[in-house]
């Protein structure tokens, strides 16, 4: 993987949370908020010792209540992780302008979606708390015809050296196929199954159609 010129392509990348709002720009279909997670090191080390799977649905308050109840049983001293998820929900609420969400916090040990694809939604937020982050493609690296005709990754991405990866802990918002008047970003899960790796993945989807900025 090689770095891309973020001024010339489809990604908005920065160390300020406001970069996530750039997902609404017509020229962007991916926004990455780069950050550190030193404050969660201890909790994530404990989380890595046990499988986790929690799904929650509803308002931010309802989701945090469900997550808190779950984490109380599986991860003692989970205040930092729960607070971080609350913060990310708040950021996504600002981006989407909706009030109801679907959240998944789960340990992943398989390759999940191994083909580069676009999600069938408007927007999705992802954060990989430990393990490898999501792989994504600059638009100039994609053979869209190969993708639309069902071809495999070797045809969709003629040059594998252009594949990019979200860093562990960074927050990414992805445009899906239902976002109006846009080209969705193609992405896939990293290959972890063969080496017995795991990821702790947070996924947040809106439960409602977006209230898009004018």
| Tokens of residue 69, six digits | 């109840």
- The structural domains of the chain, ordered by start, are 11-206 (2.60.120)
DSSP string, 18-31: GGGGGGGSTT-SEE
Give pLDDT, residue 214: 57
Whether the Cβ atoms of residue 157 and residue 106 lie closer than 8 Å to each other: no
Residue 6 has pLDDT above 60, yes or no: no
Report the half-sphere exposure of 97 (CA within 13 A, side-chain side): 8
- In the three-class reduction of DSSP (H, G, I as helix; E, B as strand; rest coil), residue 136 is classed as strand
| Tokens of residue 144, six digits | 């869209």
Whether the Cβ atoms of residue 106 and residue 53 lie closer than 8 Å to each other: yes
Give pLDDT, residue 143: 94
Percent of the chain with pLDDT over 70: 95
Average pLDDT, stretch 96-104? 96
CA dihedral defined by 93, 98, 99, 103, rounded to 10 degrees?
-70
Q: Which of 6-10, 92-96, 117-121, 163-167 has the lowest mean pLDDT?
A: 6-10
Instruction: Give residue 112's region: left, alpha or beta (phi > 0; psi -120 to 50).
Output: left
127 C-beta neighbours (distance < 10 Å), count: 24
Average pLDDT, stretch 38-65? 95
**Bridge-partner residues for 117, per DSSP?**
187
Residue 146 has pLDDT above 70, yes or no: yes
């Amino acid at each position: 993987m090689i770095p891309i010129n973020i001024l010339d392509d489809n990604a908005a990348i920065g160390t300020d949370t406001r970069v996530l709002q750039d997902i609404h720009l017509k020229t962007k279909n991916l926004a990455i908020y780069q950050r550190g997670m030193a404050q969660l090191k201890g909790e994530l080390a404990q989380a890595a010792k046990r499988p986790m799977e929690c799904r929650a649905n509803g308002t931010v308050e309802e989701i945090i209540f469900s997550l808190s109840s779950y984490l109380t049983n599986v991860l003692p001293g989970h205040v930092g992780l729960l607070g971080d998820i609350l913060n990310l929900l708040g950021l996504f609420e600002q981006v989407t302008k909706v009030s109801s969400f679907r959240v998944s916090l789960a340990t992943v040990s398989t390759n999940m979606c191994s083909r580069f694809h676009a999600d069938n939604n408007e927007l999705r937020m992802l954060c990989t708390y430990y393990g490898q982050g999501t792989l994504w493609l600059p638009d100039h690296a994609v053979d869209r015809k190969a993708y639309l005709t069902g071809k495999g990754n070797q045809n969709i991405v003629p040059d594998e050296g252009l594949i990019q990866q979200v860093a562990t802990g960074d927050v990414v918002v992805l445009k899906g196929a239902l976002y109006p008047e846009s080209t969705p970003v193609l992405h896939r899960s990293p290959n972890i199954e063969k080496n017995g790796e795991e990821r702790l993945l947070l996924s947040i989807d809106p439960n409602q159609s977006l209230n898009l900025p004018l």
